[in-house]
Amino acid sequence: MKIKFIITLLIFSTSFMSFGQTVIQESAPMTAEQKRIQKVEAEIRKLEDDYDKSKTQHEKNTLGLFPNSFSLKSDKKFLNQKKKDIQAVLYSIQESGLKEKAKQIDILSRSIGNKFSYSKALQNRIDVYDENIRKINNHLSGVQKKEGEEATNKIKQEIEISSLDKEISNLDALLKESKVEESRKSKSLDDFLTEKGKTNTARTKTKSSNSLDDMLSSSTNKKVSKSNSLDDMLGSNTNSSKESGLDDLISTTSDDTDFKIDYKNGLTGIISSRGKVLIPYRDWEIVEYKMGIAKVRKKGETKSCYWSCTSYQEGFVDVNGEFIDGFEIDFSCYKNSGGQPLVIIMTKSGRTYDEIQADERAAKRRKELKRKKNEIQRKKCEIEINNWKRSIKSRYQ
């Protein structure tokens, strides 16, 4: 029991002595360095309060500007406005005195060994704003350069278009002078036969409508005063004459229906069902045939540029293949279709709206230039074709 009391007394005495030492230490006078640090810390707190007030006012002044929220893909108007926003933020920082206040805080903080720097944190923000302005300026400078190039190209293309328009106007005048009179509508074989002899045509039609017996009878009756029979009429000729006259008569009556267009060795002619050549084989196209006359179309020279044109001799030929009353010159023309070239459109990812619009304007001008150049090519070809037609006509007529 005594031992427990002694131990409790010792513990109490020790605790009392420790408390007494602590009181003595706290109540000991502060050193000069401690006083300086305490004073500096108080000064820092005042400056930090002032800095926070200025920062709050700065944030109110720049509310809604969002200087770091933008994309260089945006159009020029938006980027210029964003640049103004960033400049407004930087101006507000300067006007609020944040840099100076941050600098004062840092000087005092370093004097007592603090490592955090208000100036460095603020400068990091300012550096980001400056970098954004630099990026925007570089981008806008590139846009301005492209706009200058576009303006230069536009002027060049407008000058070229104006020159092409003058050339087109001159070609129109030349084209009007070179125009060749269009060929008359080609006449049919019936029209040709009618022009050459209406009585012959009528007689031939009557003859073609009768049978061979009727025609033989008619021939006999016409010569009855000279001979009493067909034998007497035929008796005055040799046997060969008989056969020849009969073949000619049969041929005359059957030509209109008994014929076919035949082809041999790349040539075209007309033969009867008995194999008799009614129109000789030639390098031509047979359009119509009647009564021993054929309408033919013979290919001549060809001229090709933007258009392809071929000349033809068109007329009526007899059993010998000779043109009757000459021939007409006709032309057949068609546009050459070279096919459309393959167009590959290259697209660049990341292009801005302004760049896309500029490319579309440039493409539209190029298309207009191409159209006018094609028009010039076509008109030059027409003039060339017309002069060629005139030379062909003057050669044969």
pLDDT in tens, 373-389: 999 999 999 999 999 99
Burial class (CB in 10 A: 0-12, 13-18, 19+), 105: buried
pLDDT, position 173: 92
SS3 366: helix
For residues 186 and 328, is the Cβ–Cβ distance under 8 A?
A: yes
Is residue 159 within 8 A of residue 259, CB to CB? The reply is no
pLDDT of residue 75: 86
d(CA 155, CA 361): 13
* Residues 171, 175: Cα–Cα separation, whole Å: 6
Task: Give me the pLDDT at residue 180, please.
Answer: 81
pLDDT reported for residue 4:
52
Per DSSP, the three-state class of 269 is strand
On average, the pLDDT of the chain sits at 80
- Calpha distance 313→326 (Å, rounded): 9
pLDDT for 7:
52
The pLDDT of residue 228: 42
Q: In this structure, are residues 273 and 260 in contact, taking their beta carbons and an 8 Å threshold?
A: yes
Q: Which two tokens stand for residue 218?
A: 């008619």
Tell me what pLDDT residue 326 has: 87
Which own/partner contact pairs does 306-309 have at CB distance under 8 Å and 24+ positions apart? 306/335, 306/336, 306/377, 306/378, 306/380, 306/381, 306/382, 307/333, 307/334, 307/335, 307/336, 307/381, 307/382, 307/385, 308/333, 308/334, 308/335, 308/336, 309/333, 309/385, 309/388, 309/389
Question: For residue 94, what pLDDT is reported?
Answer: 94
* Average pLDDT for runs of 10 along the chain of length 397: 52 50 60 91 95 95 91 89 95 95 94 93 95 94 89 92 94 89 76 70 38 40 39 41 43 65 95 93 94 93 90 93 90 75 53 81 93 94 92 84
Residue 117: per-residue pLDDT: 95
Report DSSP state, residue 268: E
Q: Quick one: DSSP state of residue 300?
A: E
